[in-house]
Structure 1
Amino acid sequence: MYLGIDLGTSAVKTILVDEAQRVVASRSHALTISTPRPGYSEQDPAHWIDAAFATLDALQAEHPRELAEVEGIGLSGQMHGPVLLDSSFTPLRPCILWNDGRSAAECRLLEQRWPGLRAVTGNKAMPGFAAPKLLWIAVHEPEIFAATRLVLLPKAYLRLVLSGEAIEDVSDASGSLWLDVVKRDWSDDGLAASGLSRAQMPRLVEGSSPAGRLRSELAQRWGMRKHPIIAGGGGDNPAGAVGIGAIRPGSAFITLGTSGAVLTPTDHVAANPERVVHTFCHAIPKMWIQAGAILSAASCLAWLARLLGASEAELLVPLGARPKTPSPVSFLPYLAGERTPHDDPDARGLLDGLSHATDRSALVQAVLEGVAFALADCRDALASAGIAMTQADAIGGGSRSLFWLSVLANVLDVPIHRFAEGETGAAFGAARLGRLAVTGEAIEVVCTPPQRIETFAPEPALAAAYAERLPHWRKLYRPDR
């Protein structure tokens, strides 16, 4: 038996997987985000630990026999947020999250200090990444920066609590702007540009490698017969790729979680930071992931649901299974700024085309279409790096909506596939990495694609209507607004 623990932004999800790669049980525990100021986004690391332990306690209460047989644990998690620890490994402040936009000025400073940043990291300095956040802390909270003895990303902090060891995998580390993505090692120049050194960094491993064991007292708490091995794991998107078998060039997938992305694995670095294409190491050796990323995806639907006082399901049901025509309303999904292709933390959302005839369904459809148009921008950014997408798998909570997948197929004009449990992609990928760390099996034997249960094909007339609408939608974004 194997566990996959996904430390997300909105929840921690833990799944229990058997030797046949069947999900035996799944439990989740919700998380909340603190926004102390507009554009700020933080979480207390203690809440992650409470949430992870709550899911494991629930599994132990309901599936004690299966949990007792766990041999390996894989971790996945939200990327980019630095956890600053003092000499006793106690967090010094809340974690500044991936969708926090406060460090735009520090991004410019970092690129001035380190002219080789883009060539080494494969990325442009953006506020979402960890390094600019450390520069912001150095300026605005110098006493905290001075007290920092260890910097971990979210899932590495969870590993520290579970195992007592400070270890990070290269896929998550590549979202920090401190990693040489070709060498898959920390960059001393990058660390120095942030006022840090290797002594403050965790040890690096590949995602499928062993990276500590569960502490004996925790194994006893959850009734485990052994002290399970904990794998290196992966950032949420690389782990999601492992979960759907996207481990070779030519595959592509779309994530519809709190944020969204269009991603494809490559066997070489195909960086294009000028178009805000993200370059990450994959969670498996000798592979990389190129991505276009948007900061708000399913969170846009959650925002609208809160605004209208309805559940997300209540908003979606009246739409049916497929769109008949584009909504008369247009929506910019930049509720927390945007990455690909604008790199604009100050961008904000917009509804255009409202009239007395606008009803709730028109607004809901516009929100789903706005996210799809933003993902079309990501697709085009990847194309500028020489990566063409001819079809894609969809994962994340948003992949449960048949209407949304139909919109995506027609906006992107490619077939979109979904899986039976696509929303568990990152946790399932983490469980697979946990298994690989234990067994040493060939990656291609374990990381097979799950069965696709439905394909959404573009309809020529509808795809043409969306293609006509896309240029108008793009004109709505004005960086000087």
Structure 2
Amino acid sequence: MSYLGIDLGTSGLRALLMSEDGHVFGAVERHYTSQHKHSGWSEQDPSCWTNALEAAAVTLRDTYPEFAHLKAIGVAGHMHGATLLDQAGKVIRPCILWNDTRSDVEAQRLDATQGVRDMSANIVFPGFTAPKLLWVKQHEPDNFARVAKVLLPAAYLNFHLTGDHVADMSDSAGTSWFNVAQRDWSAKLLAAGQMRPDQMPRLVEGSEPAGTLLPAIAGRWGLGPDVVVAGGAGDNAAAACGIGALNEGDGFLSLGTSGVLLAARDGCYPAPASALHTFCHAVPDRWYQMGVMLSATDSLNWLSSITGTSAPDLTSSLGDDLRAPGDLLFLPYLSGERTPHNDADIRGSFIGLSVSTDVTNLTQAVLEGVAFGLRDQLEAFRQTGTKIDRLMAIGGGAKSRYWLKLIATVLNVTLDRPQAGEFGAAIGAARLAIMARTAATAERTLTKPGISEVIIPTPALIEEFEQAYKRFRSSYQPIKSIQSRTSVRQ
């Protein structure tokens, strides 16, 4: 028997074929692009996703004999996107993606509405789904009048696969229409967002069956008539399933384009003022909290682009032993910031440049600035009573041992590097498919990977980095004040 995990990303789709015992037969990727018609806009035609899925499935079918024994499918997807369907199930307009900021005014207005934060457990960010629909109502009233269903990207793939409008709890928690504590659509939040309950999909847990693969697709893919489609998950919840972050105290650091700290919780403990996200996990009776910084490896990649030096060469120049904090500070806000500032306009800077500053100094400052930004997230977690002593380190930036030593010391937490293998959103989605088909428990299925290396804080430098972090915090306050005054003048 085999199981298919789908990771629907912003730039491409990854399809992974796995056995019930976790052996990965193979994986394929198909890529597509986003459209940016105006500044702050980011859209995709949902046909990009279905075409990519069909192409990936055919490749797996033709490459791996195990595909013929497929028993279940799980879909993970990028969150918050607004896919609008009419009464006939046709897409009305391109999907407005999570990184689209056109609805900033609508988000601020909705966020200021009494009770919205309390019920949704989150700040209403411009990237969330509810303000997008308010924007459509204001600027595209004809399209708004046609909306019969609003589906998130993963739910749209579920619709493609099953013919049913169905979504999971973890993905739906990021809409600002959803009561995260009660794990259900909120009539009051829907009314605040000027939407109706009948425009929402049916809800299931991510590990529950959402439906059965349509006969036409099963025939096209050479499959039997009883392939189960799981509820699935939002991408970060699926990643948590992939690395076994299930119980209180489990968590991971994802050092990718953005930087994410995620901690599993045994209850719903919202702290919206901190700009932490509080969402449902992909399995019943569990939640997670997540902090997001927008420019993690993106900051290093930016330095790489302007210096003409590859990112690995930049980090290797620092050697292997952790250095004491540098005098140069870097504020990593190249694209604004989410946690804890919730400020789309804040921008980065170097502080302390001199004629003696060289590329190695710049590299050290960038790595330290990202580490300090992650420490800001950790402080937000601590405000909610979350205790984080150990994290799994994943993502492209986790290949740098120096960077992990630095982050471990700045956060004063132990970081585990997993053994080589698959442990991202696609494998998390495949694990949810296994649970939906077999009714296996989360404890049995969502296991942790083996650890290849344990990185502990450098004791001799903990206090020095503590003082450097305090200097970092005092530095970004004046920058925010200057930018605020500039904005007023403009």
**Structure-2-length-normalised TM-score:** 0.91
CA separation of 1:326/1:4 partners in 2, compared to 1, >3 Å: closer, same or farther? farther
Which residue in 1 is equivalent to 2:223? 224
Whole-Å separation in 2 of the counterparts to 1:352 and 1:43: 38
| 1:386-401 → structure 2 map (5 Å cutoff) | 386-401=385-400
Whole-Å separation in 1 of the counterparts to 2:443 and 2:396: 26
Other structure's SS at 1:230 match: strand
Say if 1:99 and 1:295, in contact at 8 Å, map to a contact too.
no
Could you tell me which amino acid in structure 2 is paired with residue 384 of structure 1? Q
Which residue in 2 is equivalent to 1:149? 148
Say if 2:405 and 2:458, in contact at 8 Å, map to a contact too.
no
Deviation per CA, 1:372-400: give whole Å up to 9, x if none.
22111111001001112111112233333
CA separation of 1:315/1:46 partners in 2, compared to 1, >3 Å: closer, same or farther? farther
Of 409-418 and 103-112, deviating more is 103-112
Which residue in 1 is equivalent to 2:88? 88
Say if 1:101 and 1:346, in contact at 8 Å, map to a contact too.
no
Whole-Å separation in 2 of the counterparts to 1:422 and 1:175: 29
Percent identical: 45
Could you tell me which amino acid in structure 1 is paired with residue 36 of structure 2? T
Of 214-223 and 195-204, deviating more is 214-223
Whole-Å separation in 2 of the counterparts to 1:141 and 1:111: 22
Say if 2:243 and 2:423, in contact at 8 Å, map to a contact too.
no
Say if 2:252 and 2:262, in contact at 8 Å, map to a contact too.
yes
CA separation of 1:110/1:222 partners in 2, compared to 1, >3 Å: closer, same or farther? same
Which residue in 2 is equivalent to 1:233? 232
Say if 1:6 and 1:77, in contact at 8 Å, map to a contact too.
yes
Other structure's SS at 1:476 match: helix
Other structure's SS at 2:262 match: strand
How far does residue 142 in structure 1 lie from its aligned partner after superposition? 2.2
Other structure's SS at 2:70 match: coil
CA separation of 1:311/1:143 partners in 2, compared to 1, >3 Å: closer, same or farther? farther
| 1:315-326 → structure 2 map (5 Å cutoff) | 315-321=314-320, 323-326=322-325
CA separation of 1:117/1:415 partners in 2, compared to 1, >3 Å: closer, same or farther? same
Which residue in 2 is equivalent to 1:8? 9
Say if 1:3 and 1:72, in contact at 8 Å, map to a contact too.
yes
Other structure's SS at 2:290 match: strand
Whole-Å separation in 2 of the counterparts to 1:362 and 1:447: 42
Whole-Å separation in 2 of the counterparts to 1:311 and 1:34: 28
Which residue in 2 is equivalent to 1:47? 48
How far does residue 426 in structure 1 lie from its aligned partner after superposition? 1.4
Which residue in 2 is equivalent to 1:363? 362
Unaligned residue ranges in structure 1 (runs of 5+): none
CA separation of 1:339/1:218 partners in 2, compared to 1, >3 Å: closer, same or farther? same
CA separation of 1:68/1:181 partners in 2, compared to 1, >3 Å: closer, same or farther? same
Deviation per CA, 1:80-130: give whole Å up to 9, x if none.
121122233333333332233332321232134x41112111111221211
| 1:61-80 → structure 2 map (5 Å cutoff) | 61-63=62-64, 65-80=65-80
Say if 1:396 and 1:423, in contact at 8 Å, map to a contact too.
no
Which residue in 2 is equivalent to 1:416? 415
Deviation per CA, 1:317-338: give whole Å up to 9, x if none.
4444454244554332323322
| 1:241-260 → structure 2 map (5 Å cutoff) | 241-260=240-259
Whole-Å separation in 2 of the counterparts to 1:218 and 1:361: 54
Which residue in 2 is equivalent to 1:450? 449
Say if 1:395 and 1:423, in contact at 8 Å, map to a contact too.
no
Whole-Å separation in 1 of the counterparts to 2:100 and 2:321: 34
Whole-Å separation in 1 of the counterparts to 2:170 and 2:426: 15
How far does residue 420 in structure 1 lie from its aligned partner after superposition? 2.2
How far does residue 314 in structure 1 lie from its aligned partner after superposition? 4.8
Whole-Å separation in 2 of the counterparts to 1:180 and 1:429: 24
Whole-Å separation in 2 of the counterparts to 1:219 and 1:310: 48
Could you tell me which amino acid in structure 1 is paired with residue 331 of structure 2? L
Count, aligned residues:
479
Whole-Å separation in 2 of the counterparts to 1:33 and 1:411: 36
Whole-Å separation in 2 of the counterparts to 1:148 and 1:352: 49
Whole-Å separation in 1 of the counterparts to 2:160 and 2:436: 19
CA separation of 1:401/1:427 partners in 2, compared to 1, >3 Å: closer, same or farther? farther
Whole-Å separation in 1 of the counterparts to 2:140 and 2:3: 41
How far does residue 451 in structure 1 lie from its aligned partner after superposition? 1.1
How far does residue 265 in structure 1 lie from its aligned partner after superposition? 1.4
| 1:210-359 → structure 2 map (5 Å cutoff) | 210-309=209-308, 311-321=310-320, 323-359=322-358
How far does residue 306 in structure 1 lie from its aligned partner after superposition? 4.2
Could you tell me which amino acid in structure 2 is paired with residue 343 of structure 1? N
Whole-Å separation in 1 of the counterparts to 2:35 and 2:56: 22
Whole-Å separation in 1 of the counterparts to 2:402 and 2:31: 25
Other structure's SS at 2:67 match: helix
Of 66-75 and 137-146, deviating more is 137-146
CA separation of 1:83/1:357 partners in 2, compared to 1, >3 Å: closer, same or farther? farther
**Structure-1-length-normalised TM-score:** 0.92
CA separation of 1:147/1:302 partners in 2, compared to 1, >3 Å: closer, same or farther? farther
**RMSD value, Cα:** 2.3
CA separation of 1:147/1:253 partners in 2, compared to 1, >3 Å: closer, same or farther? same
How far does residue 150 in structure 1 lie from its aligned partner after superposition? 1.3
CA separation of 1:359/1:343 partners in 2, compared to 1, >3 Å: closer, same or farther? same
Deviation per CA, 1:279-302: give whole Å up to 9, x if none.
101100011112222233333344
How far does residue 226 in structure 1 lie from its aligned partner after superposition? 4.8
Other structure's SS at 1:338 match: coil
Say if 1:41 and 1:99, in contact at 8 Å, map to a contact too.
yes
Could you tell me which amino acid in structure 2 is paired with residue 71 of structure 1? K
How far does residue 444 in structure 1 lie from its aligned partner after superposition? 0.7
Whole-Å separation in 2 of the counterparts to 1:75 and 1:59: 16
